[in-house]
Amino acid sequence: MKQYGFTLEGKHALVCGGSAGIGEASARVMASMGAKITVLARRKDRLTDLLPILEQQGSARALALVADLDDRETLARTLSEHLEQYGPIHIWINNTGGPAPGRLVDATEEDFLKAIGRHLLASQRILGLLLPGMQAEQYGRIINILSTSVRQPIPNLGVSNTIRGAMASWAKTLSLELPPQITINSLLPGFTMTERLVSLAQSRAAAAGVDIATIEDEWIKSIPEGRLGHAEELGAAIAFLASPAASYIRGVCLPVDGGRTSCI
C-alpha cells in the first residue's frame, strides 16, 4: 500500500527566501522531518549560520545557495549547477521578500516591473529548471507563499495585492497542467511575526501618524485567535503540504491567519 505519511526522508527541498521568517521556519520543520534542505537567499552569513541548526534538527543534509531572485540570469546558472552537483529537488517552497508597501495610486511602472520580475518571472524560470527532476523522481510539491490579500486586499499594499493575485492565478493554472504526483498549492499567511511584519507595521504607523503598538493592536483585534502568528505555525502547514500526506491536495489557496480572512 502507498505510504501517505508525514516523513520527508529521501526528499530534497529547495526553500527560497530561506534565510529568515516563514521560509526559514519551514526549513526548520522540514529538517525535523528528515528532508535534505537547500536554503536560498541573498544573505550568505544567515544561510551559513542556519546549516548546522538544520542538520541538528534532523536534516539529512543542509546546503546553502546564495542567489538573488531579482537577477534571473545568475540565478538560473547557479541553480542549474547546484542541481547537477546535489541532485533533483522534490519540494520547492516558492517564497521571497514582499514588494514595498504603499498605495496603488502612488505605484510606478518600475515598482511593478520589480515585483513581476522577483515574483512571477523568477517563479517561471525556477519552474523550468525543477520540473524535469520532479518528473523523473515522480514526486513534486510546489508551495507558493502568497498572502491573504489574494482573498481580501490589504490597505497600503497596492503592488503586493496585485502581484499576489497574479501568482495565485499562475499556481491554479499550473495545478491544471502539471502531471499527476506533482502538486502545487498556495499558502496565504496572515499577520505573522517576522522582519517583514515589523517593516509593514513601521510603514503603516508612519502613514497613520501613530505608534507601532497601535497598529499591532488594530491587527490583533481583527484576528479571531487574538494574536499574531508565529513563523513556525506557517512552517508546519508548509511542511504538511510538502509531505506525502498531502498527495490529494492540489490547486488550493490555504489561509493560515488565525481566522482573520472573513470570506469563505
Ligand X SMILES: NC(=O)c1ccc[n+]([C@@H]2O[C@H](COP(=O)([O-])OP(=O)(O)OC[C@H]3O[C@@H](n4cnc5c(N)ncnc54)[C@H](OP(=O)(O)O)[C@@H]3O)[C@@H](O)[C@H]2O)c1
B/e letters for 18-37, b = 16+ CB within 10 Å, e = fewer, are bbbbbbbbbbbbbbbbbbbb
**Complex with ligand X: residue 245 or 260, whichever CB lies closer:** 260
* Beta-sheet pairing, 61-66 with 91-94: unpaired
Instruction: Candidates 8, 13, 20, 50: give the one binding ligand X (CB under 6 A).
Output: 20
Q: Given the rule CB under 6 A, which of 80-88, 105-113, 133-141, 193-201 is the region that contacts ligand X? A: 193-201
Which of 19, 162, 175, 243 contacts ligand X by CB under 6 A?
Answer: 19
Task: Select from 72, 172, 196, 260 the one that contacts ligand X (CB under 6 A).
Answer: 196
Query: What is the pattern of x (binds ligand X, CB under 6 A) and - over residues 208-247?
Result: ----------------------------------------
Distance between CA atoms of residues 17 and 40, nearest Å: 6
Nearer to ligand X, 59 or 96 (CB): 96
Contact set for ligand X, span 62-91 (CB under 6 A): 68-70
38 binds ligand X (CB under 6 A): no
Q: Which amino acid is at 127?
A: L
Q: Which residue among 49, 106, 195, 218 contacts ligand X (CB under 6 A)? A: 195
Kindly tell me which of 27 and 174 has the beta carbon lying closer to ligand X: 27
d(CA 159, CA 150): 12
Binding flag, residue 144, ligand X (CB under 6 A): no
The single residue among 51, 191, 215, 255 that binds ligand X, judged by CB under 6 A, is 191
The count of chain residues that interact with ligand X, using the rule CB under 6 A, is: 28
In the complex, what is the shortest distance from the CB of residue 113 to ligand X, in angstroms, rounded to a whole number? 14
Selected from 189, 235, 255, 258, the binder of ligand X by CB under 6 A is: 189
Evaluate the CA torsion angle 39, 232, 190, 45 in order and state its sign.
negative
Window contacting ligand X (CB under 6 A); options: 30-38, 40-48, 131-139, 202-210: 40-48
Task: By CB under 6 A, name the one of 30, 130, 145, 253 that touches ligand X.
Answer: 145
Cβ atoms 39, 27 nearer than 8 A: yes
Q: Which is nearer to ligand X, 46 or 125 (CB)?
A: 46
- Binding residue for ligand X (CB under 6 A) from 26, 59, 94, 96? 96
Footprint on this chain of ligand X (rule: CB under 6 A): 17-23, 41-43, 46, 68-70, 95-98, 118, 145, 147, 189, 191-192, 194-197
